[in-house]
Structure 1
Amino acid sequence: MGDASGFYVIFLIVGAIVAFFIFMYFVPINLWITAIFSGVKVGLFELVFMRIRKVPPSLIVQSLITSTKAGLSITTADLETHYLAGGHVPSVIKALISADKANINLSFKQAAAIDLAGRDVFEAVQISVNPRVINTPNVAAVAQDGIQLVAKARVTVRVNISQLVGGAGEETILARVGEGIVTSIGSSVSHKEVLENPDKISRLVLQKGLDAGTAYEILSIDIADIDVGANIGAKLQIDQANADLKVAEAKAEERRAMAVAVEQEMRAKAQEARAKVIEAEAEVPKALAEAFRNGNLGIMDYYRMQNIQADTDMRDSIANSGKDTKKS
């Protein structure tokens, strides 16, 4: 019986200790006392309800204490809502304190929206206070005289808090600055003009308002380096000349092929004409024989015709030998 009583007492003691820790977990009295002594108005039941809503009371109370000591007016409901929405409460509080000390107009609603958008709101405030320098990659452009210039610029930007949510980032700034450099160099008559006055590029680019619709405000664009590249104009002229040469060669080859085709056609026609002549000559003996049979041609007439033909051949032979002698 005594063993049962002892076990019962031990069970009660253990149960009381467990109940005490559970009570202290759901009712953080020490945290409530700390908030009261820090000048933060938060009820004990509020802390209990935070625990039930799975909101860490220590995080909310510490953030309230920090903001209150910094002179900010933030409610417990605002911090709870931002935490439940997936925000980072300490980062928002640090950003608000930093903005307040730097006289930057930043409300809790704006800071919470920036944080929920996935941007580092504290870093954004720091860039607003200390502008960032962005180095552009090498930008190649060609002046009107055909000379290529390779420029590199340093862009000093400051965060525009009002457009940080939904505004374009650094990549857009770099792309627009590169486009402006290409445009300004391309509009220059000579590359020497750009080399003599590189600040002209900065002025022209700044006048374009490249930071419109972005999360940054461009403070300055400084040309860090300009190098002379290749003579693009000369290369283009050489390529054009080579292309024209190839076109001319192709047209000449086309004309030659057409001439060869015409020559072959004329040879074929000559062969055809000779064949017709030979065919006609082959009909002569038949015509002579027919004339003999019909009595239209006598033997003496035939011999006289042969003598005339022989005389004609002799004259042709003499004429041809005279031409050969003159040529030699």
Structure 2
Amino acid sequence: MPTSLIPIIIIAIVVIIVLSIFFSFIPVGLWITAYFSGVKIGIFTLIGMRLRRVAPSRIVNPMIKATKAGLKLGVDKLEAHYLAGGNVNTVVDALIAAQRADINIEFEQAAAIDLAGRNVLEAVQVSVNPKVIETPKVAAVAKDGIEVMVKARVTVRANIERLVGGAGEETIIARVGEGIVTTVGSAQAHKNVLENPDLISKTVLDKGLDAGTAFEILSIDIADVDVGRNIGAQLQTDQAEADKRVSQAKAEERRAMAVAKEQEMKAEVQSMRAKVVEAEAEVPLALAKALNDGNLGAMDYYNMKNIMADTDMRDSISNINKPNDNKKQDE
């Protein structure tokens, strides 16, 4: 290679590097696309986006879509929304969809909905095409004690005005479940609910369940009604079982008291017998003292012995007859 070509090659390489850096930092291609799409945006504005660490394509491409759709959006608004953490492309798509559906929604409102964490494009779509929310099976008990399980389908439409700060689907499902429980619980019998399931829909709709939510309830349709357990009978059975256990506990308490009373009486009898034995032990001494003092004669003593012997004989005879009486009772 000739020595004279080396400086030219070095200069060419430097130029290529400089141009590549220039075109990578300054989106000339994006500016040309925007210019021929009717979007008037200066090259220095794109450079400023680079300096502010904003991806120019995230701003210019949505502007091109908005301009082609007939929307007039400023670069500053889109860039401010991007810097705030919003999704510029989704907001522009929502504005275009709202314009096609003749829904009045401003950019600030759409941006606020997007920054609130809701999908503004989906909200516009649900506003045009209502959404069906299916509730899980809700168990309720009628006045006759029969459990009824109800599943409902709620048709809702997004309320753009209440998307910011409005409650979501979970609140709708919870309120519908509350309405189902109230309606079934006020029914005299579960058959009334089975015969007229539309009573549930009317009662729930009359409560205005969509107040404070991001949706407008269009209709509530009962999808399924099943009969469950006999809760009333089960409660009565449980109550009877509880009463039986209470009665058993009271009977056991009375039995324990009776046993304790019996033991107390036996102790008293044993004490009395001990006192009798002790008193009988003192009888001979008392008799001897009476004889010595002359208070008891010899004949009186023999008469008393005869009486005692007669009494013992009568006791022996009665004890002999008792087994015969027991045998007769057995027969």
Deviates more, 1:181-190 or 1:170-179: 170-179
Residue 188 (structure 2) aligns with: 189
Q: CA, structure 1 residues 319+65, in 2 after alignment: closer, same or farther (shift >3 Å)?
A: closer
* CA positional deviation for 1:45: 1.4
Deviates more, 1:305-314 or 1:288-297: 305-314
Deviations 1:192-237 (A, max 9, x none): 1111110110111111222222222211110011011111111111
Deviates more, 1:153-162 or 1:35-44: 35-44
SS in 2 for 1:119: coil
SS in 2 for 1:103: coil
Alignment map for 1:8-23 (pairs within 5 Å): 8-23=7-22
Residue 153 (structure 1) aligns with: 152
Deviations 1:111-133 (A, max 9, x none): 22222233222111111111111
* CA positional deviation for 1:30: 3.9
How many corresponding residue pairs?
326
Q: CA, structure 1 residues 62+297, in 2 after alignment: closer, same or farther (shift >3 Å)?
A: closer
Deviates more, 1:255-264 or 1:309-318: 309-318
Deviates more, 1:207-216 or 1:97-106: 207-216
2 CA distance for matches of 1:127 and 1:17?
Answer: 52
Residue 58 (structure 1) aligns with: 57
Deviates more, 1:223-232 or 1:57-66: 57-66
Residue 273 (structure 1) aligns with: 272
Residue 87 (structure 2) aligns with: 88
Q: CA, structure 1 residues 133+305, in 2 after alignment: closer, same or farther (shift >3 Å)?
A: same
Residue 258 (structure 2) aligns with: 259
Deviates more, 1:138-147 or 1:257-266: 257-266
Q: CA, structure 1 residues 322+74, in 2 after alignment: closer, same or farther (shift >3 Å)?
A: same
Residue 169 (structure 1) aligns with: 168
Alignment map for 1:224-239 (pairs within 5 Å): 224-239=223-238
2 CA distance for matches of 1:311 and 1:52?
Answer: 137
Q: CA, structure 1 residues 23+297, in 2 after alignment: closer, same or farther (shift >3 Å)?
A: closer
SS in 1 for 2:80: helix
Identity of aligned residues (%): 65
* CA positional deviation for 1:324: 9.5
Task: Report the residue type matching 2:220 in the other structure.
Answer: I
Residue 302 (structure 2) aligns with: 303
Alignment map for 1:16-35 (pairs within 5 Å): 16-35=15-34
* CA positional deviation for 1:57: 2.3
* CA positional deviation for 1:33: 3.5
Deviates more, 1:160-169 or 1:69-78: 160-169
SS in 1 for 2:38: coil
* CA positional deviation for 1:167: 2.2
2 CA distance for matches of 1:102 and 1:71?
Answer: 14
2 CA distance for matches of 1:57 and 1:319?
Answer: 127
Deviations 1:165-191 (A, max 9, x none): 232221221111111111110111111
Residue 99 (structure 1) aligns with: 98
Deviations 1:20-77 (A, max 9, x none): 2333334434433333332222122112212222222233222212111212121001
In structure 2, stretches of 5+ residues that fail to align are none
Structure 1 segments of 4+ aligned residues over 6 angstroms from their partners: 315-327
SS in 2 for 1:105: coil
Residue 118 (structure 1) aligns with: 117
SS in 1 for 2:7: helix
In structure 1, stretches of 5+ residues that fail to align are none
* CA positional deviation for 1:325: 9.0
Deviations 1:235-290 (A, max 9, x none): 11111111111211221221122112212211221121121111111111111112
1 CA distance for matches of 2:39 and 2:283?
Answer: 140
1 CA distance for matches of 2:103 and 2:215?
Answer: 15
* CA positional deviation for 1:90: 1.2
